[in-house]
Structure 1
């Protein structure tokens, strides 16, 4: 849907399940600034909004370079729209992430556009960043679970371009660790991810040696490859 709002062109892609929120979503920029609250465990510009019994997770994508804005106008999907589509694909493949509610864009002119991705907050209580301070035995179990999760993501063709601990939420559910991707704007969706690219993505976590050793070993097992091969790619990515 494209509509006019005080000389601003509003583009709204909405999940039919949440059609009842249309009027609210058209004004998401105002709600984001006025009543949005930050997530306590992450610092990435995402805010939470409460409406109609739901907790919405809203990501605002700032203006990019003029080259990127021109590319978006001509052939490239915006980050907000990509987030919406990628979240839907992840959920279709059985991965936990926000249920997509809407993509909203406000455009004043050809090159001036602000974008928002709106999802239903998954309500996992911890970010992977907390693993850095865990006792070794507890952290090892978490990292082994995460490595298998990351391996499955990569096998299915999903690759966070720069893996961030703040962007990975987790919780222990029925005795097992479960994971959820918070922001899908920087995720590639497509072909099966190579071992080299998978290791490069994980190396971006910038953790300590003990953390990395456990993660590499478990990831190699999950992908069915030699640990030394993963170690080589990991070290190359960090250098």
Structure 2
């Protein structure tokens, strides 16, 4: 069984959506091939991005069939909501799910966003051109997300895309299947910013820039972001040690 939804005014993609499994196996540019596979494909001379989600475990296959929305559907719904809020994310085209009778394969299809670099590149390179301006605009973009109640659970360096437009920078977010729409506390604002691996100098700069925009005490902003950033880095280190332990003892 197939279940899908196509965005309004994108009905021309119906043949692509209904035969997505065939199209996905066609030659294309692979963006990532880890847990999920993301490819750039072409349909009607238009670049699109297709994300094929890993087949879930049996419990989630049942849940995605009868209880809750799949990651593909959540991606489509969240992207639609973001754009309604005026937050940039590649325009959603469709999602597709295949059941036998539980969920087997699912796909999320969106327009291709022609970005110049990820925020990751800026954080990794201390000599990145116009670095301070980009980080300042990143803080402003993050504040806009928070003001509109967007809590991107995977708000991390690889999921913030940037395109230079004149002397300004346009930010767009991807990987939006894990997302909540909430009312923020000041504490939660900085917790949401903590997944970005950065030096303490950069973390402090982002915190101060955000505080200035949001009208929050600067000392509090720096202290809170440092706390959550260190906590997240410790979590990553523990996770890495655990993986190494399992590899050594398997």
TM-score by length of 1: 0.86
Stretches of structure 1 lacking an aligned partner (at least 5 in a row):
1-8
Report the 3-state secondary structure (helix = DSSP H, G, I; strand = E; otherwise coil) of the residue aligned with 2:144.
helix
Matched, 1:157 2:135: no
Report the CA distance between 1:109 and its aligned residue. 2.3
Stretches of structure 2 lacking an aligned partner (at least 5 in a row):
232-250
Q: 1:148 aligns with which of 130, 137, 140?
A: 140
Report the 3-state secondary structure (helix = DSSP H, G, I; strand = E; otherwise coil) of the residue aligned with 1:117.
strand
Report the 3-state secondary structure (helix = DSSP H, G, I; strand = E; otherwise coil) of the residue aligned with 2:105.
strand
Report the CA distance between 1:169 and its aligned residue. 0.5
2:151/2:182 contact within 8 Å kept: no
Bigger shift: 74-83 or 138-147? 74-83
Deviations 1:32-63 (A, max 9, x none): 232231239xx974211111121111112213
Report the 3-state secondary structure (helix = DSSP H, G, I; strand = E; otherwise coil) of the residue aligned with 2:26.
helix
Q: Which residue of 2 aligns with 1:114?
A: 105
Whole-angstrom distance in 2 between the partners of 1:115 and 1:78:
8
Q: Which residue of 1 aligns with 2:215?
A: 224
Bigger shift: 24-33 or 131-140? 131-140
Matched, 1:19 2:30: no
Bigger shift: 134-143 or 56-65? 134-143
Matched, 1:51 2:43: yes
Q: 1:142 to 1:44 in 2, by over 3 A?
A: farther
Whole-angstrom distance in 1 between the partners of 2:58 and 2:217:
44
Q: 1:38 aligns with which of 17, 26, 30?
A: 30
Report the CA distance between 1:163 and its aligned residue. 1.7
Deviations 1:165-204 (A, max 9, x none): 111100111311110112211222x223322222122111
Whole-angstrom distance in 2 between the partners of 1:84 and 1:223:
30
Whole-angstrom distance in 2 between the partners of 1:47 and 1:165:
19
Report the 3-state secondary structure (helix = DSSP H, G, I; strand = E; otherwise coil) of the residue aligned with 1:17.
coil
Q: Which residue of 2 aligns with 1:94?
A: 86
Whole-angstrom distance in 1 between the partners of 2:150 and 2:116:
23
Q: Which residue of 1 aligns with 2:166?
A: 174
Q: 1:75 to 1:195 in 2, by over 3 A?
A: farther
Matched, 1:215 2:206: yes
Report the CA distance between 1:236 and its aligned residue. 2.9
Report the CA distance between 1:13 and its aligned residue. 0.4
Q: 1:207 to 1:72 in 2, by over 3 A?
A: same
Whole-angstrom distance in 2 between the partners of 1:127 and 1:57:
16
Matched, 1:71 2:96: no
Higher relative contact order, chain-length normalized (CA < 8 Å, sep 6+)? 1
Q: Which residue of 2 aligns with 1:201?
A: 192
Whole-angstrom distance in 2 between the partners of 1:119 and 1:182:
10
Report the 3-state secondary structure (helix = DSSP H, G, I; strand = E; otherwise coil) of the residue aligned with 2:65.
helix
Whole-angstrom distance in 1 between the partners of 2:42 and 2:27:
9
Q: Which residue of 2 aligns with 1:6?
A: none
Deviations 1:11-34 (A, max 9, x none): 110113121221111122232232
